[in-house]
């Protein structure tokens, strides 16, 4: 099972808003010994959202979706999730009760629940049939879970604690189960093509390791360099790291190890 992220909203694709969800979700997962496998951004187009969800529902991935679960004309996520699953939207009784609590909290105990604006608010509790709720600690208007997909608002102040709750409530048994380590260094004034044979040799020699290179062209303050590193199984990472350094020294490469410890998450049996 892999974790994926869907970010929904024209405002992201137009540049009106800068996405903050991707780095935060990576952080939330990393804190729990988990990793993000993929992420996609899609605008407020029902056909595209439905097609994307139909594809991800058909996978075995666990997916977080941020945005578009309100009740304004540009919010389509709830409807698209139902369409992708081939089920109707249904008013969730507990979701409606939570929204009613919020209405009475903000408008007073005698608020007219049949007022047009409040009827519109109740639509935010219409979820695909069979959905369960994700509590929202900010304003109590819930998100929802269906078919290993967890749908939360686009507002970070709401979305991030809701995602944290999902992870801690539903996936705690997966925390820190996969051992992982990473080490890297800077190689100055080198061409990636010259380092590629070494990278291929290391990956062939150590099946549990992936080698990565992050080139930088440099600027007025930074020399041209490549961050070259290994990540994966901690035991193999240490051996691959040693081999990599030895081979780079043989090549006469100018290197600078980054000031980072070997980062590893110990697996355990919980």
Residue 235: what pLDDT? 87
Residue 180 is predicted with a pLDDT of 85
- Element containing residue 198 per DSSP (H, E): helix 192-205
pLDDT of residue 94: 98
Beta strands in the chain (DSSP E): 3-8, 36-42, 62-66, 89-91, 126-128, 132-134, 143-146, 149-152, 181-188, 209-216, 225-232, 254-257
Residue-level pLDDT at 260: 53
pLDDT computed for residue 264 by the predictor: 41
pLDDT at 267: 38
Where is 212: in which H helix or E strand?
strand 209-216
Q: What's the predicted TM-score (pTM) here? A: 0.85
Q: How far apart are alpha carbons 205 and 158 in whole angstroms?
A: 46
18 Cβ contact list (under 8 Å, min separation 6): 12
- List, run by run, the mean pLDDT of 10-residue segments along the chain (270 residues): 96 96 98 96 98 98 97 96 98 97 94 94 97 97 98 98 98 90 93 95 96 93 94 93 96 84 39
């Amino acid at each position: 099972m892999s974790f994926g992220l869907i970010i929904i909203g024209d405002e992201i694709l137009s540049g009106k808003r800068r996405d903050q969800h991707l780095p935060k979700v990576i952080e939330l997962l990393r804190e729990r010994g988990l990793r993000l496998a993929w992420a996609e951004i899609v605008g407020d187009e029902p056909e595209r959202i439905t097609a994307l969800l139909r594809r991800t529902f058909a996978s075995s991935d666990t997916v977080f979706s941020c945005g578009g679960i309100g009740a304004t004309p540009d919010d389509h996520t709830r409807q698209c999730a139902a369409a992708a699953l081939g089920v109707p939207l249904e008013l969730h009784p507990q979701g409606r009760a939570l929204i009613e609590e919020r209405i009475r909290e903000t408008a007073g105990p005698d608020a007219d629940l049949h007022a047009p604006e409040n009827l519109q608010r109740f639509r935010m509790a219409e979820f695909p049939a069979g959905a369960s709720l994700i509590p929202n600690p900010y304003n109590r208007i819930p998100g929802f879970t269906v078919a290993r997909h967890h749908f939360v608002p686009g507002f970070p102040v709401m979305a991030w604690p809701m995602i944290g709750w999902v992870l801690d409530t539903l996936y705690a048994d997966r925390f820190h189960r996969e051992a992982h380590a990473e080490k890297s260094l800077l190689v100055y004034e080198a061409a990636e093509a010259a380092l590629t044979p070494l990278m291929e040799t290391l990956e062939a020699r150590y099946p549990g390791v992936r080698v990565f290179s992050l080139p930088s062209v440099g600027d007025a303050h930074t020399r041209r360099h490549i961050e070259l590193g290994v990540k994966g199984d901690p035991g193999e990472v240490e051996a691959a790291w040693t081999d990599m350094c030895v081979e780079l020294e043989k090549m006469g490469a100018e290197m600078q190890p980054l000031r980072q410890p070997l980062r590893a998450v110990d697996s355990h049996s919980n």
